């Protein structure tokens, strides 16, 4: 019987920083972080299977603030699992950006992040994304004529959001704004047992205060989508806006109400 080799790297006990631990990776690894605040930007590029998690399993206690990059965590052509982490840049940068990758978030918090134009919480392209028991709150995409995806912005992705909260995120664009909480384009999505509440878009053409779906397919079930707003001269789909979608099924056990100016368009 053989087992695949897997390294466990401890920060700061073995490595003084997360970046130093990442530089040492040669095969599938788990990086375990002691509780604390980490002022570093992480680049995860062409890595084997990688887990980054807190060593304190009873409470999160790990906050990654970033340093100078436009994204606190950049992922390219990698498979990454993040667990028990809080990514909070204090409105300086995007939390996570990903291209051509597989990403799973478990019991994480993406809060208080800001990005120009799109995806302040996460900006993902051609990736597989799973968000489970995670809070995405208080993130803002703003700047220029167009903005979208205050919380999440996904293009050409496979996305599953389960047991999570997307709350109080916003997108501001002087001409057009879409997807205050979640913005999906050409993607396959499943949103299940989640809450999308109190998100907003602000712009001349404002669409999808809670969720914006364009040329996508999938389903939303067992969820609550309420208190979201599409605010502007031409505001539509305060709760959900579906634009040219292939097929979106909103199950009857999903509550979509008290959104402004309407609950669902599409």
Find the CATH number of the domain harbouring 62: 2.160.20
Instruction: Report the sign of the C-alpha dihedral through residues 130, 103, 158, 173, in that order.
Output: positive
In angstroms, the CA 147 to CA 178 distance is 7
Average pLDDT over residues 55-84: 92
pLDDT digits (tens, 9 = 90+) for 155-169: 999 999 999 999 999
Q: 167 Cβ partners below 8 Å, 6+ apart?
A: 135, 136, 137, 138, 181, 195, 196, 197, 198, 199
CA distance 90 to 21: 25
Are 151 and 166 contacting, i.e. CB atoms less than 8 angstroms apart?
A: yes
Percent of the chain with pLDDT over 70: 97
Query: Residue 70 falls within a domain, yes or no?
Result: yes
Residue 51 lies in a domain: yes
pLDDT-derived band of residue 204, with 50, 70 and 90 as boundaries? Answer: confident
Q: How confident is the model at residue 51 (pLDDT cuts 50, 70, 90)?
A: very high
Residue 1 placed within a domain: no
Q: Give the mean model confidence (pLDDT) for residues 91-119.
A: 97
Of 1-5, 72-76, 134-138, 207-211, which gets the smallest average pLDDT? 1-5
CA distance 149 to 35: 30
Say what the pLDDT of residue 245 is: 64
Q: What is the pLDDT of residue 2?
A: 46
Q: For residue 247, is it within any domain?
A: yes
Asked, for residue 2, whether it belongs to a domain, the answer is: no
Give how far the C-alpha of residue 87 lies from the chain's centroid of Cα atoms, to the nearest Å: 11
d(CA 201, CA 209): 5
d(CA 98, CA 77): 8
pLDDT one-digit tens code per residue, 118-164: 999 999 999 999 999 999 999 999 987 889 999 999 999 999 999 99
Range of the domain at 120: 7-265
Q: Is residue 197 assigned to a domain?
A: yes
| Distance in angstroms (rounded) separating the CA atoms of residues 215 and 232 | 23
Nearest of 250, 253, 201 to residue 230 by alpha carbon: 201
How many domains does one find in the chain? Answer: 1
* 42 in a structural domain: yes
Find how far residue 201's CA is from the centre of its chain. Answer: 17
Among 185, 194, 210, 193, smallest CA distance to 127 is for: 185
Structural domain includes residue 200: yes
Give dist(CA 187, CA 213) in Å, integer.
8
pLDDT in tens, 163-198: 999 999 999 998 999 999 999 999 999 999 999 999
Inform me whether the pLDDT recorded for 233 exceeds 90.
Answer: no
Over 92-103, what HEC string results?
CCEEEEEECCEE
> Which range (75-84, 113-122, 133-142, 243-252) has the least confidence?
243-252
Which range, of 2-16, 92-106, 182-196, 211-225, averages the lowest pLDDT? Answer: 2-16
Retrieve residue 141's tokens: 């995409």
CA distance 83 to 35: 13
* Of the candidates 253, 147, 124, the residue with the CA atom closest to the CA atom of residue 200: 147
Give mean pLDDT, residues 188-210.
Answer: 95
Looking at the chain, the whole-number percentage of residues with pLDDT higher than 90 is: 86
220, pLDDT greater than 50: yes
Mean residue pLDDT of the chain comes to 94
């Amino acid at each position: 019987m053989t087992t695949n080799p897997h390294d466990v790297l401890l920060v700061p006990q073995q490595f003084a920083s997360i970046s130093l631990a990442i530089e040492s990776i040669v095969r599938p690894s788990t990086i375990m972080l002691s509780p604390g605040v980490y002022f570093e930007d992480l680049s995860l590029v062409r890595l084997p299977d990688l887990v980054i998690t807190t060593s304190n399993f009873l409470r999160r206690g790990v906050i990654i603030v970033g340093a100078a990059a436009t994204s606190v965590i950049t992922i390219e052509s990698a498979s990454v699992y993040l667990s028990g982490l809080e990514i909070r840049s204090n409105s300086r940068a995007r939390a996570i950006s990903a291209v051509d990758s597989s990403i799973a978030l478990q019991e994480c918090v993406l809060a208080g992040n800001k990005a120009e134009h799109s995806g302040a919480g996460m900006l993902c392209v051609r990736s597989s994304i799973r968000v489970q028991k995670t809070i995405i709150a208080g993130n803002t995409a703003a700047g220029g004529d167009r903005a979208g995806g205050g919380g999440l912005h996904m293009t050409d992705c496979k996305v599953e959001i389960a047991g999570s909260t997307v709350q109080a995120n916003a997108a501001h664009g002087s001409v057009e704004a879409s997807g205050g909480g979640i913005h999906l384009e050409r993607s396959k999505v499943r949103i299940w047992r989640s809450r999308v509440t109190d998100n907003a878009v602000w712009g001349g053409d404002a669409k999808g205060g809670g969720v914006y779906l364009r040329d996508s397919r999938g389903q939303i079930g067992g969820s609550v989508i309420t208190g979201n707003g599409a605010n502007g001269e031409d505001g539509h789909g305060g709760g959900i806006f579906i634009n040219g979608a292939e097929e979106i099924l909103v199950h009857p056990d999903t509550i979509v109400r008290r959104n402004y100016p309407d609950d669902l368009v599409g």
